[in-house]
């Protein structure tokens, strides 16, 4: 939750006295003399850019005290031609002191840099927060600077008794070296390049433990980041995703693999505009234009543990309602309520499950929030009621920009917001005006507590008229169709800082609001990247209060900690095979960021999806944690029913498979919510000791047990997939595939997607229906995948699907399933409520190597079983066993 009081954290480190500071600061105003040849003898990959803000010629570069190489002297145009020498002036650490919680030191600079308003004195504080989490800050001790106002763990009062890390402070020039105690592996080393800290420019660099780096989103990227002089820019922006650009979200966290298979993570809690530069040393440089340096280092040592430790800081994900895991359908281009009804009818006629119907901005009256078109959507409330009668839910779009009322008309939400002072303001104190869908628009300031109350009241009043079930918040970077403001932005250093990260449009105001505009908490310059998060928090809290149930919020703009309040879809992607591939690393990375309810617009949003692409995309999308088909108004229709009977059959088949697996998926979300697990999971997270998995992003897991290998290329009817060591069973046939860590070619006709259960696991499933409401009433199934030694284990979390805090209140059931020595049993860990109504109807056991002569259920002979010798699959049917009572199934 945001800390609206914005209180500064108390320091445990005293500043050096003014007298000592004055004695030390006998500096000159120059940058220093040109370096000698020996200070410039650096390998290309170890050169750190000394001209971040502009291109310099030789004289200008050397005038900064840096080394210069002409283009002909470099083998790679991406390498910096102007770079820091080994003796470039930096800070010196003095007064290094041990404290009850770590270390503190004063950092002093004697020579100015090329950036204006250098801070000549800084304060370092190092906090040993847990045995596996280190926290350190570098800030101005003499003046408060902006700090990100999100809730983080309270400061510790004493050091942990044991620590996985060693910390070394290098005094002159200053550097911080953090290493893993057990192996000596250096995890963070800031001595690689000088520290710069000016009023509007902060730069710090580190070496990396290997070339295998993940995170630092949101960007259109493969799972494993490219370290070949790649710049990743953070300044939330609404645009069609493309490579090498800033996108909708900011997550300055990375997970790094070490050469021995261990892992660690680093998080910079800073919301200002930022560039992160990756270079093949391997090394990384952070450049941000405000705030402080506020770092967390997570020691893991496994990737799973690193992700959990990161979420210990930013918060665990919210628990979605069960219906939120069904199939969602939307389009910008449903011009009336009657057409929307027709869409739902055609989906039901095609017998493809559909849980949630959505609307884009079509339903609004002149694109105004909290309104609906009286002509084309005059029976809007009745339409939503009809969907509810069908067992469906309804979600609508809302945006943070409110249109100004037209002359002679009133618009009560705007008028009330104006009266309460809840809009972002310009330099004169008036609401800043931009242009969005309604035309001239103002922007709600969600850092203002009064805006949260106003947002709740507006949602409540509209919900009283239209019983929508969830909220889709869009264009909340915030997006503006112009630059800054219709009245232009002032000419000041916030609008034109000395360093502008490599944002699309080259200026901070590009397609958003003025950087110097005012929020309740600070300037937009500081708060831009958390704007979407503040709206997500307001929406989550409002919907929880309105419905008394779990909120369902999907947002485009995100920041670290977003997953506590909302899910995410990956924006306005194109309908191409390339974007189908990129959807996989996107959902995997957001799971690493602690936002597991994530998906991509199935079939793509922009452009015309071919039938083959749309079938393949539904097959992948059925395994997105959040599954929605959505496209734009000027593209051809892509609802499943518009395609051929064969394609409809293929889509129906995979959507039914998703609905069958919902008990397993829901259990995974419970584990994410309570312990920071991932739902969609990269292979390297589950198999970190297998280096072959470290770059795989065309296959992925659900949890530990379900493995998805899709077709991602046009015209392909087979796919090559890697299988880590073990036995894997085809989800449909039960056929086993034994691997020693090998690649296999799998036949994949157009109506199929390869899904395998990992040996040693049990997946709870259910007979699918047309909605989650219908499915939840059906009998359970258990899919048992035996390991090589004949054992397996799994579990089921079950509650009513939408009540608040069911786990905390004990209103849930947790059941463990175990198979060993040809016996399957359940262990009831906790039983309450809904699960007592469930019965187990069917068990499939994969890996039964000899035909059983008999099956016993609770000691009695059972005749309803079948054995498939070709696939070694045992099916036990018609069980009707209450899931809330102990059972035992034997075969021999």
The residues near 803 (Cβ < 8 Å, ≥ 6 apart) are 549, 550, 811
The residues near 464 (Cβ < 8 Å, ≥ 6 apart) are none
Q: Is 125 a catalytic residue?
A: no
Q: Is 477 a catalytic residue?
A: yes
The residues near 578 (Cβ < 8 Å, ≥ 6 apart) are none
Strand partners, 680: 702
Nearest of 204, 308, 215 to residue 257 by alpha carbon: 215
In whole angstroms, give the CA distance from residue 276 to residue 204.
10
DSSP letters spanning 258-290: -TTS-EEEEEE---S-EEEEEETTTEEEEEESS
Measured CA angle at 239 (ends 238, 244), to 5 deg? 110
Question: Would you say 737 and 755 are in contact if contact means Cβ atoms under 8 Å apart?
Answer: no
Count Cβ atoms below 10 Å from residue 30 Cβ, excluding itself: 11
Question: Would you say 246 and 233 are in contact if contact means Cβ atoms under 8 Å apart?
Answer: yes
**Distance (Å) of CA 786 to CA 98, 260, 546, 700, 857:** 54, 30, 46, 21, 19
The residues near 52 (Cβ < 8 Å, ≥ 6 apart) are 201, 203, 275, 287, 499
Residues in the chain, how many?
892
Nearest of 565, 557, 478 to residue 514 by alpha carbon: 478
Buried b (16+ CB within 10 A) or exposed e, 77-106: eebbbbbbbbebbbbbbbbeeeeebbbbbb
Q: 356-359 and 393-398: which strand pairing?
A: parallel
Q: Say which of 469, 474, 677, 799 is annotated catalytic.
A: 474
Question: Would you say 311 and 269 are in contact if contact means Cβ atoms under 8 Å apart?
Answer: no
Q: Dihedral of CA 146/150/154/155: which sign?
A: negative
In whole angstroms, give the CA distance from residue 550 to residue 543.
8
Q: Say which of 258, 362, 399, 477 is annotated catalytic.
A: 477
Buried b (16+ CB within 10 A) or exposed e, 289-315: bbbbbbbbbbbbbebbbbbbbbbbbbb
For residue 397, report the phi and psi dihedrals to the nearest 5 degrees: -90, 145
Question: Would you say 229 and 277 are in contact if contact means Cβ atoms under 8 Å apart?
Answer: yes
**Distance (Å) of CA 94 to CA 16, 100, 507:** 8, 19, 38
What's the Rg (C-alpha) of the chain?
29
Q: 401-403 and 439-443: which strand pairing?
A: antiparallel
Nearest of 473, 409, 470 to residue 439 by alpha carbon: 409
**Distance (Å) of CA 256 to CA 212, 264, 368, 684:** 6, 6, 45, 11
Write out the catalytic residue numbers: 474, 477
């Amino acid at each position: 939750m945001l800390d609206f009081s914005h209180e500064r954290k108390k320091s445990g480190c005293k500043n050096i006295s003014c007298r000592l500071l004055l004695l030390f600061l006998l500096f000159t105003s120059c940058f220093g003399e040109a370096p000698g040849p020996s200070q410039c003898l650096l390998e290309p990959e170890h050169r750190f850019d000394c001209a971040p803000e502009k291109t310099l010629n030789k004289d200008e570069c050397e005038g900064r005290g840096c080394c210069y190489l002409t283009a002909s002297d470099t083998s790679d145009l991406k390498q910096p031609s102007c770079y820091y020498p080994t003796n470039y002036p930096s800070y010196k650490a003095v007064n290094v002191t041990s404290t009850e919680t770590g270390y503190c030191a004063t950092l002093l600079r004697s020579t100015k840099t090329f950036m204006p308003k250098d801070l000549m004195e800084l304060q370092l504080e190092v906090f040993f927060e847990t045995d596996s989490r280190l926290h350190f800050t570098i800030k101005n001790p003499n003046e408060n600077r902006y700090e990100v106002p999100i809730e983080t763990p309270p400061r510790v009062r004493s050091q942990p008794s044991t620590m996985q890390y060693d910390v070394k402070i290098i005094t002159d020039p200053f550097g911080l070296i953090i290493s893993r105690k057990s192996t000596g592996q250096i995890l963070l080393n800031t001595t690689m390049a000088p520290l710069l800290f000016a009023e509007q420019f902060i730069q710090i660099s580190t070496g990396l433990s290997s070339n295998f780096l993940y995170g630092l989103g949101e960007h259109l990227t493969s799972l494993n980041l490219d370290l070949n002089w790649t710049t990743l820019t953070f300044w939330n922006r609404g645009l069609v995703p493309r490579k090498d650009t800033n996108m909708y979200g900011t997550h300055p966290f990375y997970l790094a693999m070490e050469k021995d298979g261990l892992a660690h993570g680093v998080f910079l809690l800073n919301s200002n505009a930022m560039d992160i530069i990756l270079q093949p040393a391997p090394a990384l440089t952070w450049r941000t234009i405000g705030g402080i340096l506020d770092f967390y280092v997570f020691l893991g040592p496994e990737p799973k543990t690193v992700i959990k430790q990161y979420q210990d800081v930013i918060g665990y994900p919210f628990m979605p309602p069960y219906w939120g895991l069904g199939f969602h359908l939307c389009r910008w281009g449903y011009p009336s309520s009657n057409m929307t009804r027709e869409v739902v009818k055609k989906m039901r006629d095609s017998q493809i499950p559909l849980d949630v119907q959505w609307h884009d901005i079509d339903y609004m009256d002149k694109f105004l929030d909290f309104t609906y078109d009286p002509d084309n959507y005059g029976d809007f409330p009745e339409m939503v009621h009809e969907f509810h009668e069908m067992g469906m839910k309804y979600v609508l779009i809302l945006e943070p920009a409110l249109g100004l009322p037209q002359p002679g008309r009133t618009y009560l939400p705007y008028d009330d917001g104006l009266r309460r002072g809840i809009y972002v303001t310009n330099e004169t104190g008036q609401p800043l005006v931009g242009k969005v869908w309604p035309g001239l628009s103002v922007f709600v300031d969600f850092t203002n507590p009064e805006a949260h109350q106003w947002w709740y009241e507006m949602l409540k009043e509209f919900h009283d008229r239209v019983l929508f079930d969830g909220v889709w918040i869009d264009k909340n970077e915030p997006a503006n169709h112009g630059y800054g403001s219709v009245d232009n932005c002032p000419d000041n250093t916030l609008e034109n800082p000395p360093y502008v990260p490599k944002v699309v449009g080259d200026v901070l105001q590009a397609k958003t609001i003025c950087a110097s505009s005012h929020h309740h908490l600070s300037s937009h310059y500081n708060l831009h990247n958390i704007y979407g998060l503040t709206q997500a928090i307001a929406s989550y809290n409002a919907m929880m209060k309105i419905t008394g149930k779990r909120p369902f919020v999907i947002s485009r703009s995100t920041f670290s900690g977003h997953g506590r309040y909302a899910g995410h879809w990956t924006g306005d992607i194109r309908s191409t095979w390339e974007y189908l591939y990129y959807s996989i690393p996107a959902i995997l990375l957001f799971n690493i960021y602690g936002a597991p309810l994530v998906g991509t617009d199935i079939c793509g949003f922009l452009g015309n999806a071919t039938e083959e692409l749309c079938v393949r995309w539904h097959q992948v999308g059925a395994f997105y944690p959040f599954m929605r088909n959505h496209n734009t108004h000027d593209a051809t229709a892509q609802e499943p029913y518009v395609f051929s009977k064969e394609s409809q059959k293929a889509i129906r088949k995979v959507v039914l498979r998703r609905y069958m697996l919902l008990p397993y998926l829901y259990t995974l979300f419970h584990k994410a919510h309570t312990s920071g697990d991932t739902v969609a999971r990269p292979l390297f997270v589950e198999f970190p000791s297998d280096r072959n998995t470290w770059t795989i992003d065309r296959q992925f897991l659900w949890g530990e047990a379900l493995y998805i290998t899709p077709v991602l290329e046009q015209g392909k009817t087979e796919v090559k997939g890697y299988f880590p060591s073990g036995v894997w069973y085809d989800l449909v046939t039960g056929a086993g595939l034994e691997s020693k860590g090998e690649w296999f070619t799998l036949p994949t006709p157009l109506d199929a997607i390869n899904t395998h259960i990992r040996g040693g696991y049990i997946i709870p499933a259910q007979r699918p229906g047309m909605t989650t409401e219908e499915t939840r009433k059906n009998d359970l199934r258990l899919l048992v995948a035996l390991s090589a030694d004949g054992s397996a284990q799994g579990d089921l979390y079950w509650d009513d699907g939408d009540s608040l805090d069911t786990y905390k209140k004990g209103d849930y059931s947790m059941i463990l399933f175990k198979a060993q020595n040809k016996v399957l049993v359940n262990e009831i860990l906790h039983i309450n409520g809904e699960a007592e109504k469930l019965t187990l109807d069917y068990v499939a056991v994969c890996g039964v190597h000899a035909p059983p002569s008999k099956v016993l259920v609770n000691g009695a002979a059972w005749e309803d079983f079948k054995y498939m010798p070709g696939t070694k699959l045992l099916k036990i049917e018609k069980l009707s066993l209450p899931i809330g009572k102990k059972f035992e199934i034997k075969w021999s």
